[in-house]
Structure 1
Amino acid sequence: MELELHINGVITSVNVDATETLLSLLRREGYCGTRQGCETGDCGACTVLVDGIARPSCVMLAAQAGGCTVMTAEGLPAQKGLSTLQQAFVDVGAAPCGFCASGMLLSAHALLQRNNHPDEAEIREALSGNLCRCGGYEKPIQAVERAAALMRGEQSKLVEPEVIHQSEQNPLAALGMDRELTSSGITDRLPVITSSMSANADATFTVVGKSLPNRNAVKYVTGSPAFVADYEQRGMLYGSILASPHAHAVIRDIDVAEARALPGVHAVLTYKDVPRVPYSSVERGLLESGPYDQYMLDYNVRYVGDRVALVVAESAEIAEEALKLIQVEYEVRPHILDPRQALDPNAPRLHPESESRGIFDASRNVAMRVRTEVGDVDQGFSESDIIVEGEYILPVTQPAPLEPHHVTTYLDEDGVLVVRSNTQAPHHVRRTLARLLDLPLRKVRVIRSEIGGGFGIKQEIILEDLCALATQVTGRPVTLAYAHAGAFTSSRVRPAYIIRLKTGVTQDGRIVANQMALLTGTGAYATHPLTAAEGAVPQALSLYPSPHMRYVAEVLYTNTAPSGSFRGYSSPQEIFALESHLDEVAKRVRLDALELRRRNWIRTGDELSLAKAAAAGRDVGSLLVESSGLAECLRVVEEKLGWHIKRGVVNNGRMRRGVGVALSMQGNPLAQSSTSGAIMKLNEDGSLDVFVGAGNHEDNEYTLLAQIVAETLGVMPESIVVYMDDTALTPAALGENATSTFYLAGGAARKAAEQMRRQILAIAGRMLNALPESLKLSEGIISVPNVNQTFTVAQVAAYALYVENRQLMTNASWRVAQSPLTFAAIGAEVEVDTETGAIQISRIITAVDVGRMLNPMLSETRIQGEVVQGLGTALSEEIFYDQKGRPQTKHFDNYHVYNAVDMPPAQVYQVETTEPAGPFGAKAISDVALGAVAPAIANAVASATGVRPPQLPLTPERMLRALHAHAQSQQPVRS
């Protein structure tokens, strides 16, 4: 039908199908700012204004908008480039990944059009239909408040992040040490101060420490093409996957003749059409043994949503129609949904195939087993005055990024296979695809588009292999994506965990022995980091070292979606169990919970003995903690929460209030094969192109790397362009996660910048007839002290190119032996309704050890986002399966993600220390705050009610059952 629309002030006449959505129409017309997210109207990424009203375009028919005025992010009114509202989002750091930004902007714009003086509650309500998984809601709210003030003609000062600088700290705390003497009266030993640390301790920086906006923010807020779905190729074909309806089955026969005969179908691929090559969807170093237990397509399907066949057709609709014509004969087999069932001697064997390798014990469904011990744990328990045991259960959850996984592949003019994906690990994808498709590495190029939330699951190969295979078979560009229902069913999840802790302590609260036994599932395929013994690091127990420690982990196959890393690997789960358990230990020894932690936590200069034992004899060098802001983080939370006033207050009414605290630690001291490189080129206008290898990087790192390079060189950050997305341009990178990547990329970039600075000053010395070491380079200007003559870096670059006929370039490699540890403390105040079980969070206090501050605004945004996810983990997020293994949680409407209205008041404090291994003393802060949110809330709930539900999330139903069970246990037993 013919439809007339007013889109961003332009009258447009278009043909639409009766069933076409407004989202589909807008994207077809090139309005990329209308993002394709959940397609159920729940996430808000596709929000547009229809006659001034914010509406989700994914659930509105295009025909309904006929004759209406439609505004997308591209149409926001702007005087010079950006509107006041868009500029405010950029200024305050409100667009970390950018996927939700355009929808939020339109919801906020609609609010400001009808009310230019909204209060915070009105702003939260206006944004309540827009979800954010990366940065949370505090920054968008600040942005709307700022824009409203500016639109009213008022001044609006930017809100500075709360940073605890070293000068404000106790000197010992600044070095990561306790504020008081230990109970024995002996102060903590001072750390070894390296020359790197000393040089940075009192340095004055020009760029480092400044709150610069995210380099991609303008692109995000204007709705410019940024994500995979925004790039079209001529002659594009569309892929669609036939998913298994069974949790466990063998394909006895598959007939695709009708599907192949359907007009518009170009290929139908099954296990019969692809090479049977085992691979791992996660990156494994050459020295790691596996497991390698996945296949592009297999005759054995192991979870509901597993890949059965791929159809490639002229349109998505034809592909979906072809899927219905595929006839499959399944032999349904018994399935396993709970990791405890996998150990049963009669349990079905999920990986009987002979081709897979590296599985610890396929006959018992054990993907990997990890056992690490320090001292003699049994003896330690015998020497303890008190032994406390506990079991803690965490459910299956979904990372639930707003942007689904999406891939587009094509052959370029030289026959190179180009893969455009929202992967976090482009070099890993390239290496694996070359092996799977039997191509030389030079014939595969991976380009990473912007990522609308990664959270670890996009560190893996999810769809890239099938999409690349489809292009190889058809010779045409192919696009393949998961809708959100498919992502919940077929993508990666955080698996269920059952953790048992046993702790032996003395009467005065000294931990003598600690044991953690962990049982978890890896799903159908062994993707989780614990499945490789070389990567298993018992982080949580190391937070409280004792003479006798034991860590045991059993990772089992189940007939559920494969498990992914999801922010912190297994650390958040272990931290939840340990920090909940420590409060129970404190109760048993009648000691304040914070005091118990102070007496036992890891200190600067301590050796990570459990990690060293886990290395199994490998030479890992010195595993010492070189910096820690843990003491100051806890002091801040203790003070801001009012711990000593509110803790232990007895309230016996219906509404019970309580406070709780938890600590967390992040970093991998056993990171293997971690290396990166950087190439730097100085252009004749003084700008620099920096090509950095990054294994699993995040959006903020473009800005952070520019700041590192600018500070090292003495130039302005806007003169630097950082490239990390294209394997054809950037050096290879081996790094397991965003934490190690920060140190790798940062170290390589800084080393290359140091070399470039020496080259620039050498040439400038010849130009100025001065010794290079006597020159000063600052803000792009080179000068000689006491001499009235200067040159710019641009003049030096031009001189080198046109006079000396040299292109100034440098390159550097950087290896990280271990990822340093960073720390966080979280405080929570809660109110529990004992009649309904409902838990209300009154406030959250977060303090994070950030090392040397690089960019306060961007790190604050990231921490705020982790708090949002932590709240969901604690109170609402969980995936349910029915008895046949079918996920019952498929959309955001029944997977509750916190929105702007749900959020409690949250304060973030960043504590500065100096980390010798970090660039300029900085630390990677990825995921460290997330792990402590749930246990802090659980501890507050236990303090308020005297009841500790050992299972997450703390839903009203679980809380009410626990309260009733506790009440019954307190009743006297009748004779």
Structure 2
Amino acid sequence: MKEVTRKIPKKDALGLLLGKPVYTDDLSPKDALIVKILRSPHAFAKIKSIDTSKAEKIDGIECVLTYKDLPRIPITRAGQGYPEPSPHDWYILDEYVRYVGDEVAIVAGKDEKVVEKALSEIKVEYEILEPVLDFEKAEGHSSIIHPEKETHPMFEIGFDAKNNIAASYEMEIGDVEEELKKCDVIITERFYTQAQAHVAFEPHTAASYIDMHGRLVIISSTQVPFHVRRILSEAFNIPIKDIRVIKPRIGGGFGGKQAIHGEPFVAAVTLKTGKPAKIVYSRQEVFEATYTRHPMRYDITLGATKDGKLKVIDMKGLSDTGAYGEHALTTFMVAGSKTLPMYNKVDAVRFSGKVVYTNKVPAGAYRGYGAIQGNFALESAIDILAEKLNMDPIEFRKKNMIREGETSPIFKIMGEGREGVDMIVRSCKLNECVEEGMKLINWKEKFPRKKISETKFRGVGMAIAMQGSGIANIDMGSAILKLNDDGSFNLLIGATDLGTGSDTILAQIAAEVLQVPTENIIVYSSDTDLTPFDVGAYASSTTYVSGNAVKRAAEKMKRMIIREGALKLGLDESKVDFDGKYIFEKDGSKKVDLKELATVLYYTENQKQLIADASYVGEESPPPFMAGFAEVEVDIETGKVRLINYVAVVDCGVTINPNLARIQVEGGLVQGIGMTLFEDVKYSPSGKLLTNNLMQYKIPSRKDIGNIIVKFVESFEPTGPFGAKSVAEIGIDTPPAAIANAIYNAVGVRIKKLPITWTYPRK
């Protein structure tokens, strides 16, 4: 291949390095009103009265809005496919506040100083209610977090607001109880994963204005511009055609921007005043009032025969969605759908559980999206079972894990919020990932432990993982290619580059089809007026879904060029080909330069603009696979765990851009390591977030994560663009289980609750 598999820099790299104005705050109207939010000091309360009169009289204040000034339309903030699997339980402003940081009032003024003063002058009287802060006690609690009659689900899958249940789900294949009776060894264990903050360096930012046609324009740091447009249309009851959403560069998202956050507040101000407005969240607001990862609890029961045949998997979960149900059902289901198929030879499997409301920061999409929580529980339990069977955990996995050409009934039964699709795994080099990882970590020599000194021991552990490539039969991407009169091309895509390099990847795919340099593909992405529809950047979809759309559009463009070139040369189309520079006679000497053809087309002969478009919806979601290996050193006097080496061997199909693929895996690994060893969202007894800044909330630095080795195995996915599968999320999944397994192998202590930050006392 000519352009695909090239290690070329990201298209936006130079501009970002030079500090060009490319982010939402850079591009906001210079005369925009400053918008800030008065937020609740209580975890759960009802507003008895709110007096804004003093605030409104302050010079420079344009408007103060409360729940009385805005339409009472329940929506979900979750940027997911329509109809949304998340319940409609959020209002732009409401008389109830459901967590510390929930929105009470919107204030807009000429500068920050006057807005801050106005916020201090708003007088609110609250009826303080008993908060629900323990998700294990949420179901049936005397406090009902969503008592309002307007809240409703789009899908009736276990929604029960009166009992604080946002969703529930259960499925079973085979007879778990009967098959357990046939097992020689059974283990049952409970695991906990914590909330995790996204910590994207660009805070959530949005701006708005009314254009010359009277339409509402939103500029937003969002992963899902088309979903933002649709949700705002619903929230304000205005037509979609009257809203435009523009996504500039994004300084990190990781799922935290797969929703609306500040957009409704600036929109409300602009619709009220007719003036431009902008909101830039403080770091405290990002922590307290956007999203975290869903904390989860899993009870895992595994059963096997004494020869190492895994017969039964039973996963029962409980998930904490916080104050609102965004991504509640889908994240929970992914915890099963992206883990259970790895062990496809069982005789019975069951997945069940509930997602409950609490009066904490809302949980939402986060890279790994449930799979990391389920993987920690299942892959830790697999090691426990292997030890009871007196088997090497790798040999146990190799005996039971999925292989190329196989399937799992889970694929059809469990999708994201609904039924999945039947699927054969056409590309799976998981076994090769495991073998290569064993060599790179030197497993046979290091397993299970080595004594370094009287107080320090080293151990190795591992885990396997799978993800998906988009959401089959649901999410769609599309692309438009336009030939310019100098022979270059404009690629218009709705796909959202949130720092992943997808603009570059998609340009490479188009360039490969057209056989032109990637530099000749000029990309414009994510503007709901100017680019075609795309669901946005989530579910590891862009390379696979949007990439297939780009490939189809480029193939159509190539056919158009050949047709017009043949007309110019006076030849039949079947006798003509295109090599990226010339349209030429296959068995002759006639040819015309692409630039010359474009000039003729646009200025003199047979004049027409060549435009090709295409769309793609995946009929399946080919999983990428990974084997992760951790080597840790544990000091039994202090309890300090030091990560020495982490090896990740990945099957993501053909790497369109190997450098960008490697960086994606490395970034995911660091976030997974952070979740395992460092990051913890902590609350006070009254429900106030304590880790609401970067002094209290610790993320790992480069010095904390040891040596990282990433390697890709050769694989080819026949349904993917040039053999590619996704790579964005797979890296995050294995660190929790692999590190926990390594710690156990080092010192014999099994950690079942994340993060692993406790002190291990010396005996």
**CA displacement at 1:394 relative to structure 2:** 1.2
Structure 2 unaligned regions, length at least 5:
none
Quote the residue 1:442 is aligned against. Answer: 241
Query: What pairs up with 1:255-654 in 2 under 5 angstroms?
Result: 255-288=51-84, 290-343=86-139, 345-358=140-153, 360-530=159-329, 538-545=337-344, 546-614=346-414, 622-649=422-449, 651=451, 653-654=454-455
**CA displacement at 1:528 relative to structure 2:** 2.0
**CA displacement at 1:789 relative to structure 2:** 4.5
Change (3 A) 1:673 1:586: same
**CA displacement at 1:535 relative to structure 2:** 7.4
Quote the residue 1:239 is aligned against. Answer: 35
Say if 2:571 is the partner of 1:782.
Answer: no
Change (3 A) 1:839 1:550: same
Moved more, 717-726 or 738-747: 738-747
Query: What pairs up with 1:107-186 in 2 under 5 angstroms?
Result: none
For 1:222, the aligned partner's letter is L
Moved more, 524-533 or 713-722: 524-533
Contact 1:424–1:698 (Cα < 8 Å) also in 2: no
Aligned pair count? Answer: 756
Say if 2:753 is the partner of 1:951.
Answer: yes
**CA displacement at 1:625 relative to structure 2:** 1.3
Aligned with 1:459: secondary structure? Answer: coil
Aligned with 1:220: secondary structure? Answer: helix
Query: What is the distance in 2 between the residues matched to 1:931 and 1:213?
Result: 26
- Deviations 1:505-556, CA, capped at 9 Å, x for gaps: 0101111010111111101000125258887852212211212000112100
Change (3 A) 1:465 1:660: same
Quote the residue 2:592 is aligned against. Answer: 791
Out of 453, 467, 487, the position equivalent to 1:686 is: 487
Structure 1 unaligned regions, length at least 5:
1-204, 968-975
Say if 2:534 is the partner of 1:765.
Answer: no
Query: What is the distance in 2 between the residues matched to 1:649 and 1:899?
Result: 26
Query: What is the distance in 2 between the residues matched to 1:725 and 1:631?
Result: 38
Query: What pairs up with 1:742-891 in 2 under 5 angstroms?
Result: 742-785=543-586, 787-801=588-602, 802-891=604-693
Out of 697, 703, 727, the position equivalent to 1:895 is: 697
For 1:461, the aligned partner's letter is I
Q: What is the Cα-based RMSD across aligned positions, in Å? A: 2.0
For 2:398, the aligned partner's letter is R
For 2:114, the aligned partner's letter is I
**CA displacement at 1:871 relative to structure 2:** 1.5
Query: What is the distance in 2 between the residues matched to 1:325 and 1:352?
Result: 30
- Max radius of gyration: which structure? 1
Aligned with 2:519: secondary structure? Answer: helix
Aligned with 2:703: secondary structure? Answer: coil
**CA displacement at 1:697 relative to structure 2:** 6.0
Out of 492, 498, 501, the position equivalent to 1:700 is: 501
Contact 2:334–2:416 (Cα < 8 Å) also in 1: no
Contact 1:447–1:725 (Cα < 8 Å) also in 2: yes
Contact 1:290–1:532 (Cα < 8 Å) also in 2: no
Aligned with 1:901: secondary structure? Answer: helix
Contact 1:293–1:526 (Cα < 8 Å) also in 2: yes
For 2:731, the aligned partner's letter is A
Contact 1:491–1:562 (Cα < 8 Å) also in 2: yes
**CA displacement at 1:214 relative to structure 2:** 0.2
**CA displacement at 1:373 relative to structure 2:** 1.1
Query: What is the distance in 2 between the residues matched to 1:565 and 1:668?
Result: 16
Change (3 A) 1:735 1:900: closer
Query: What is the distance in 2 between the residues matched to 1:717 and 1:823?
Result: 28
**CA displacement at 1:304 relative to structure 2:** 0.3
For 1:401, the aligned partner's letter is A
**CA displacement at 1:610 relative to structure 2:** 1.9
Change (3 A) 1:314 1:650: closer
Query: What is the distance in 1 between the residues matched to 2:164 and 2:666?
Result: 39
For 2:189, the aligned partner's letter is G
Contact 1:698–1:738 (Cα < 8 Å) also in 2: no
Query: What is the distance in 1 between the residues matched to 2:97 and 2:449?
Result: 55
- Deviations 1:739-768, CA, capped at 9 Å, x for gaps: 123322111111111111011011212333
Query: What is the distance in 2 between the residues matched to 1:870 and 1:243?
Result: 31
For 1:884, the aligned partner's letter is S
Query: What is the distance in 2 between the residues matched to 1:735 and 1:231?
Result: 21
**CA displacement at 1:707 relative to structure 2:** 0.6
**CA displacement at 1:781 relative to structure 2:** 2.9
**CA displacement at 1:275 relative to structure 2:** 0.4
Query: What pairs up with 1:731-746 in 2 under 5 angstroms?
Result: 731-734=532-535, 737-746=538-547
**CA displacement at 1:738 relative to structure 2:** 4.4
Out of 512, 516, 540, the position equivalent to 1:715 is: 516
- Deviations 1:758-809, CA, capped at 9 Å, x for gaps: 1101121233344434434234333334644532221222222230111111
Quote the residue 2:721 is aligned against. Answer: 919
Query: What is the distance in 1 between the residues matched to 2:581 and 2:687?
Result: 61
Query: What is the distance in 1 between the residues matched to 2:13 and 2:417?
Result: 47
Contact 1:256–1:268 (Cα < 8 Å) also in 2: yes
Say if 2:451 is the partner of 1:656.
Answer: no
Quote the residue 1:150 is aligned against. Answer: none
Change (3 A) 1:670 1:453: closer
Change (3 A) 1:827 1:848: same
- Deviations 1:358-413, CA, capped at 9 Å, x for gaps: 17011110100011111111111111110011111111210111111000111111
Contact 1:530–1:536 (Cα < 8 Å) also in 2: no
Query: What is the distance in 1 between the residues matched to 2:420 and 2:750?
Result: 40
Identity %: 36
Moved more, 887-896 or 729-738: 729-738
Query: What is the distance in 1 between the residues matched to 2:171 and 2:655?
Result: 35
For 1:381, the aligned partner's letter is L
Aligned with 1:890: secondary structure? Answer: coil
Query: What is the distance in 1 between the residues matched to 2:666 and 2:247?
Result: 25
For 2:110, the aligned partner's letter is E
Query: What is the distance in 2 between the residues matched to 1:648 and 1:441?
Result: 59
Query: What is the distance in 1 between the residues matched to 2:695 and 2:592?
Result: 61
Aligned with 1:564: secondary structure? Answer: coil
Aligned with 1:432: secondary structure? Answer: helix
Query: What is the distance in 1 between the residues matched to 2:252 and 2:496?
Result: 16
Query: What is the distance in 1 between the residues matched to 2:273 and 2:739?
Result: 53
Query: What is the distance in 2 between the residues matched to 1:717 and 1:799?
Result: 24
For 2:698, the aligned partner's letter is H
Change (3 A) 1:474 1:745: same
Change (3 A) 1:670 1:789: closer
Contact 1:336–1:348 (Cα < 8 Å) also in 2: yes
**CA displacement at 1:235 relative to structure 2:** 2.5
Query: What is the distance in 2 between the residues matched to 1:368 and 1:419?
Result: 32
Contact 1:407–1:420 (Cα < 8 Å) also in 2: yes
